[in-house]
């Protein structure tokens, strides 16, 4: 199995009743600052406030009735958790969610609002995976992995299908990368629909496993990190990495300061709420990691679930 443009197009049809077709915003101010033409795909306006609604809906509604009967399970720091809980609720099945103990409260609340059954674990990859395996053994639930799942990747790629219809003739698409589900879907959709387009991934320098893996050709697992971009603290999946090597042109890293600056500028100029992980692609432009002068650039704004009482620029 792998991921194709046809998979993503089929996913788009499948999930259409369950998602928003999110808007694309532009700003003359932001264009003037970088010399390019920026098109922001606003998945912060998506169901549950993040692009994850796409992949979770595709995974859940791809299941046969027999497969779905025992429910679904996953481990996630928040957005995928809420998305899977919502998709399961829509289908009328149980969602068992393993969350790290340091998950943002806003994301915990979102999971609970959507009926997810939460089990907390230590904030590391091993604890997440072992706890999820135990929950699955106890319940018989089917795993819907946050990113190492072709149905999830196909759903995430539908954002780029829409972006390329809404903003024709893009030269470049920038997406953040954590586990790689969004990046895989973005790259396969972009390259399939627009041969010659460039796809670049951006990630925090404090969680740079994708950059190191891309450079070496071998998966380099992420060390424990406290990057502010909490949605990007995960390591690349084994299914994601080959697709990234095949379809992605480059991976760049950005500083924690750059993420905060980018997040605040988008709040101030576009007048929209985005979370830190969402700001990473624009941070790559601000820090000069990606040349955009004279180019038409699409950026995936991945989500807007942020604790308004803990914004990084507020005085402690």
Residue at which a domain ends, from 86, 115, 143: 143
Q: Report the pLDDT value the prediction gives residue 105, as an integer from 0 to 100.
A: 81
Residue 292 belongs to some domain of the structure: yes
The band of 28, judged by pLDDT with boundaries at 50, 70 and 90, is very high
Q: Indicate whether 241 pLDDT > 90.
A: yes
Q: Report the pLDDT value the prediction gives residue 60, as an integer from 0 to 100.
A: 98
Averaged pLDDT of the chain: 95
Does residue 125 or residue 199 have the better pLDDT? 199
Phi–psi pair at 310, nearest 5 degrees: -130, 40
Residue 306 belongs to some domain of the structure: no
Whether 293 and 176 share a structural domain: yes
Residue at which a domain ends, from 113, 143, 173: 143
Whether 39 and 125 share a structural domain: no
Whether 26 and 64 share a structural domain: no
Q: What residues pair up with 74 in beta bridges, in sequence order?
A: 97
Does residue 78 or residue 303 have the better pLDDT? 303
Cα–Cα nearest to 204, from 126, 258, 273, 125: 258
Range of the structural domain that residue 153 is part of: 5-51+149-301
Residue 158 belongs to some domain of the structure: yes
Whether 191 and 139 share a structural domain: no
Rounded mean pLDDT, 164-189? 97
Whether 172 and 285 share a structural domain: yes
Residue at which a domain ends, from 118, 143, 168: 143
Tens of pLDDT along 8-22?
A: 999 999 999 999 999
Residue 238 belongs to some domain of the structure: yes
Whether 20 and 137 share a structural domain: no
Whether 88 and 195 share a structural domain: no
Tens of pLDDT along 122-172?
A: 988 789 899 999 999 999 999 999 999 999 999 999 999 999 999 999 999
- Share of the chain residues as helix, strand and coil, in percent rounded to the nearest 5: 50, 15, 35
Whether 115 and 133 share a structural domain: yes
Q: What total number of domains does the chain contain?
A: 2
Q: Indicate whether 42 pLDDT > 90.
A: yes
Q: Indicate whether 223 pLDDT > 90.
A: no
Q: Indicate whether 233 pLDDT > 90.
A: no
- Residue pair 205/193 in contact (Cβ under 8 Å)? The answer is no
Whether 275 and 201 share a structural domain: yes
Q: Report the pLDDT value the prediction gives residue 315, as an integer from 0 to 100.
A: 67
Q: Report the pLDDT value the prediction gives residue 316, as an integer from 0 to 100.
A: 56
Q: Indicate whether 97 pLDDT > 80.
A: yes
- Residue pair 74/97 in contact (Cβ under 8 Å)? The answer is yes
Tens of pLDDT along 272-289?
A: 999 999 999 999 999 999
The band of 221, judged by pLDDT with boundaries at 50, 70 and 90, is confident
Whether 46 and 180 share a structural domain: yes
Strands 37-42 and 24-25: antiparallel
CATH code, domain with 82:
3.40.50.1100
Residue 246 belongs to some domain of the structure: yes
Residue 315 belongs to some domain of the structure: no
Whether 131 and 208 share a structural domain: no
Whether 17 and 59 share a structural domain: no
Query: What does the chain look like in DSSP terms, one character per residue?
Result: ----HHHHHHHHHHHGGGS----EE--HHHHHHHTSEEEEEEGGGSGGGBTHHHHHHHHHHHS-HHHHTT-EEEE-SSHHHHHHHHHHHHHT--EEEEEETT--HHHHHHHHHTT-EEEEE-SSHHHHHHHHHHHHHHH-PEE--SSS-HHHHHHHHHHHHHHHHHS-S-SEEEEE-SSSHHHHHHHHHHHHHSTT-EEEEEEEGGG-HHHHHHHHSS--PPPP---S-GGG-SPPPTTHHHHHHHH--EEEEE-HHHHHHHHHHHHHHH-----HHHHHHHHHHHTTSS--TT-EEEEEE-B----TTS-TTS--
């Amino acid at each position: 199995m792998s991921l194709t443009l046809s998979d993503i197009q089929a996913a788009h049809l499948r999930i259409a009743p369950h998602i928003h077709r999110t808007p694309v915003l532009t700003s003359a101010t932001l264009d003037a600052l970088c010399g390019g033409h920026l098109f922001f795909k606003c998945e912060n306006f998506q169901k549950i406030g993040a692009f994850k609604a796409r992949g979770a809906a595709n995974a859940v509604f791809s299941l046969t009735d027999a497969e779905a009967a025992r429910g679904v399970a996953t481990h996630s720091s928040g957005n995928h958790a809420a998305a899977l809980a919502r998709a399961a609720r829509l289908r009328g099945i149980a969602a068992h969610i393993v969350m790290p103990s340091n998950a943002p409260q806003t994301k915990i609340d979102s999971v609970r609002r959507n009926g997810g059954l939460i089990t907390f674990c230590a904030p590391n990859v091993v604890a997440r995976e072992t706890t999820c395996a135990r929950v699955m053994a106890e319940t018989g639930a089917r795993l819907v992995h946050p990113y190492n799942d072709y149905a999830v990747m196909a759903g995430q790629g539908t954002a780029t299908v829409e972006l390329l219809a809404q903003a024709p003739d893009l030269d470049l698409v920038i997406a953040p990368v954590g586990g790689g589900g969004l990046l895989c879907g973005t790259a396969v959709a972009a390259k399939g629909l627009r041969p010659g387009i460039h796809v670049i991934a951006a990630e925090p320098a404090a969680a740079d496993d994708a950059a190191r893996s891309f450079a070496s050709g071998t998966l380099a697992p992420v060390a424990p990190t406290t990057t502010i971009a909490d949605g990007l603290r995960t390591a690349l999946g084994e299914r994601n990495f080959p697709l990234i090597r095949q379809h992605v042109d480059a991976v760049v890293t950005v500083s924690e300061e750059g993420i905060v600056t980018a997040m605040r500028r988008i709040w101030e100029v576009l007048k929209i709420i985005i979370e830190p992980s969402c700001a990473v692609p624009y941070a790559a432009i601000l820090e000069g990691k990606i040349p955009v002068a004279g180019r038409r650039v699409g950026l995936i704004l991945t989500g807007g679930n942020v604790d308004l009482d803990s914004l990084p620029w507020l005085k402690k």
